[in-house]
């Protein structure tokens, strides 16, 4: 039997899956870990937690699946993007990893932009210097923790730290490297000009591969620790969004994805490195060799509903526990009885700042239009609508750039709800489909492992063989017109509040 393993180092936990060459999932295990917020707008994690979760999940997957380690032909790695793991010469972690949603680097990003030039930065890296990206974190450590910076030997992204622990190799791949602000996205290599102007030693950067390329092999110590076979190839893998795209078949023209996890992402495949001249969308290398993608990211999509659940839905969480169902099911069900537009209540989902189309760490969440008539169900529906409006911001820019849109595929936790998917179809004004795969990024990198280990000829063949459309939802024409009006109010709100957000901070 031929099997492939995918490991996704996420923000809330690490997921490890095992599939066969037809895409059948033999086992899927997620091990959770905490996120630390030592100060407002800060977000950190201990890389040791990722490693412990990886080891534990691999062991559990092997036990549940009863698959022999020798039958695993390749392993793929995915993970949360933009994080910064600093290692010294003895390979010790020097400080907690600063995460993608951390907003402390506003001053550093302004300095990067001034040093290189705004237009030149976009020309070199295809993106502006943003607070979530890795470069700002590196400069922040240099400015604020010089005792750490002077000991740096390597800087790794989250999944690439796990790669090092698995294989002993310092490596990354093009899709994840694209989100560092150190990477020449057009030419798929580290940017010497950016590194030199920022005075960051190029030796800090790991070797960079295409996503399906073999980047290392399971070491003897890892084999003993996990039960994997020594020498099993580990491919480059992908940043979580590029990997998610492979895992849902976004590997050709005209197919767009809308993903609602903690963050929200609209993702479009591209044959070339087409850059938004205003820097509103990200342009990154795709996990498909020689291809690129445009991507709009909102920082707190499903995270907004999670925030509401954790703080205002204790009754639903208790009831769900007794019924042994997902508490989100009980929460979202309440919104079904509220009319589109939430009776004049509009939610801005900027709880952790925002990225697309407003790269603003000062932005904050807002319920606008509250009246004495509004109840809990209205707030829930307005959150679902606000997140969908935020995704529409990215979709509209993609349309503006003349990217063809033949189909939008919904994925992530938000895709589990038919009600929320229908809402997205109505707000987007286009058909929404789902596929047979729900394992997302972990599934995508398992397929990339199959390409690297010659199980599949290429990424397209891997997707064609394993991914099928399972459901179509067409927009309700009456709701389209209603939502257009509310979306107009939503779009106006940021401009009206931008300076007030700044004052609050």
pLDDT tens per residue across span 79-96: 999 999 999 999 999 999
Omega within 30 of 0 (cis) for the link into 138: no
d(C-alpha 143, C-alpha 372), whole Å: 49
For range 464-489, the mean pLDDT: 96
d(C-alpha 420, C-alpha 424), whole Å: 6
For range 473-477, the mean pLDDT: 95
> Cα 175 vs. chain centroid, distance in angstroms?
11
For range 318-340, the mean pLDDT: 96
Specify the pLDDT at position 323.
95
* Percent with pLDDT over 70 in the chain: 100
**How confident is the prediction for the chain on average, in pLDDT?**
96
d(C-alpha 207, C-alpha 462), whole Å: 26
In this predicted structure, the answer to whether residue 440 has a pLDDT above a threshold of 90 is: no
Return the SS3 of 131.
coil
In this predicted structure, the answer to whether residue 208 has a pLDDT above a threshold of 90 is: yes
d(C-alpha 69, C-alpha 5), whole Å: 10
Q: Does domain 3-248 have CATH number 3.30.420.40?
A: yes
Give the global pTM: 0.90
Q: Does domain 302-434+471-500 have CATH number 3.40.50.1100?
A: no
- Tell me the pLDDT tens digit for each residue of 223-275: 999 999 999 999 999 999 999 999 999 999 898 999 998 889 999 999 999 88
For range 285-307, the mean pLDDT: 95
In this predicted structure, the answer to whether residue 458 has a pLDDT above a threshold of 90 is: yes
Return the SS3 of 15.
strand
The more confident residue out of 404 and 449 is 449
Which of the residue ranges 156-160, 223-227, 397-401 would you say has the lowest mean pLDDT? 397-401
Report CA-CA distances (Å) from 441 to 9, 246, 259, 469.
9, 8, 11, 17
What is the 3-class SS of 405-437, one letter each residue?
A: CCEEEEECHHHHCHHHHHHHHHHHCCCEEEECC
Please answer whether residues 218 and 168 qualify as being in contact, where contact means their C-beta atoms are separated by less than 8 angstroms: no
Range list for CATH 3.30.420.40 in the chain:
3-248, 302-434+471-500
- Tell me the pLDDT tens digit for each residue of 1-15: 899 999 999 998 999
Please answer whether residues 386 and 366 qualify as being in contact, where contact means their C-beta atoms are separated by less than 8 angstroms: no
DSSP assignment of 197-233, as one string?
HHT--GGGSPEEE-TTSEEEE--HHHHHHHSPPTT-E
Report CA-CA distances (Å) from 215 to 202, 205, 232, 380.
19, 15, 11, 45
Please answer whether residues 405 and 398 qualify as being in contact, where contact means their C-beta atoms are separated by less than 8 angstroms: yes
d(C-alpha 180, C-alpha 83), whole Å: 9
State both tokens at 77: 């790695």
Report CA-CA distances (Å) from 186 to 174, 282, 284.
11, 12, 8
Please answer whether residues 479 and 425 qualify as being in contact, where contact means their C-beta atoms are separated by less than 8 angstroms: no
Buried b (16+ CB within 10 A) or exposed e, 217-238: bbbeebbeebebeeebbbbbbb
- Residues classed as catalytic: 240
The more confident residue out of 484 and 401 is 484
In this predicted structure, the answer to whether residue 347 has a pLDDT above a threshold of 90 is: yes
For range 483-488, the mean pLDDT: 98
In this predicted structure, the answer to whether residue 413 has a pLDDT above a threshold of 90 is: no
State both tokens at 408: 């939008």
Return the SS3 of 349.
coil
For range 183-206, the mean pLDDT: 98
Helix, strand, coil percentages in the chain from 3-state DSSP, rounded to 5:
40, 20, 35
Specify the pLDDT at position 14.
97
Specify the pLDDT at position 464.
96
For range 27-38, the mean pLDDT: 95
């Amino acid at each position: 039997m031929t099997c492939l393993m995918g490991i996704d180092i996420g923000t809330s936990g690490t997921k490890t899956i095992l599939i066969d060459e037809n895409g059948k999932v033999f086992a899927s295990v997620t091990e959770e870990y905490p996120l630390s917020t030592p100060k407002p707008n800060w977000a950190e994690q201990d890389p040791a937690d990722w490693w412990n979760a990886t080891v534990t999940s691999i062991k559990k997957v092997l036990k549940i699946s009863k698959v022999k380690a020798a039958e695993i032909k390749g392993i793929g790695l995915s993970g949360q993007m933009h994080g910064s793991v600093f290692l010294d010469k003895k390979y010790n972690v020097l400080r907690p990893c600063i995460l993608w949603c951390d907003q402390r680097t506003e001053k550093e990003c302004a300095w990067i932009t001034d040093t290189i030039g705004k237009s030149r930065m976009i020309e070199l890296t295809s993106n502006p210097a943003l607070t979530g990206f890795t470069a700002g974190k590196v400069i922040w450590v240099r400015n604020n923790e010089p005792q750490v910076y002077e000991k740096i030997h390597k800087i790794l992204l989250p999944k690439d730290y796990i790669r090092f622990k698995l294989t002993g190799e310092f490596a990354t791949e093009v899709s994840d490297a694209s989100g560092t602000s150190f990477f020449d996205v057009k030419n798929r290599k580290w940017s010497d000009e950016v590194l030199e102007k920022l005075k960051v030693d190029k030796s800090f950067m790991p070797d960079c591969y295409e996503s399906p390329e073999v980047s290392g092999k399971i070491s003897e110590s890892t084999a003993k620790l996990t039960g994997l076979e020594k020498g099993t190839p580990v491919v480059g893998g992908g940043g979580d969004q590029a990997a998610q795209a492979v895992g849902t078949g976004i590997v050709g023209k005209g197919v767009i994805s809308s993903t609602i996890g903690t963050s929200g992402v609209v993702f479009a495949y591209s044959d070339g490195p087409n850059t938004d001249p205003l820097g509103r969308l990200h342009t990154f290398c795709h996990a498909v060799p020689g291809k690129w993608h445009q991507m709009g990211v909102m920082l707190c999509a499903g995270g907004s509903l999670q925030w509401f659940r954790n703080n205002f839905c204790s009754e639903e969480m208790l009831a769900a526990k007794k019924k042994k169902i997902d508490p989100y099911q009980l929460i979202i069900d309440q919104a079904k009885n509220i009319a589109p537009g939430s009776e004049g209540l509009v939610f801005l989902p900027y709880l952790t700042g925002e990225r697309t189309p407003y790269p603003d760490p000062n932005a904050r969440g807002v319920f606008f239009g509250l009246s004495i008539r509004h109840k809990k169900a209205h707030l829930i529906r307005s959150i679902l609508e606000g997140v969908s409006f935020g995704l529409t911001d990215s979709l509209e820019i993609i349309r503006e750039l003349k990217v063809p849109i033949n189909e939008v595929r919904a994925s992530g936790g938000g895709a589990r709800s038919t009600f929320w998917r229908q809402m997205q179809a109505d707000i987007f004004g286009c058909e929404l489909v789902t596929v047979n795969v729900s394992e997302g990024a972990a599934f995508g990198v398992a397929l990339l492992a199959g390409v690297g280990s010659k199980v599949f000829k290429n990424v397209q063949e891997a997707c064609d063989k394993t991914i099928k459309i399972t459901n179509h939802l067409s927009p309700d024409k009456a709701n389209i017109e209603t939502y257009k009006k509310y979306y107009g109010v939503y779009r106006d709100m940021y401009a009206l509040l931008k300076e007030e957000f700044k004052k609050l901070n």
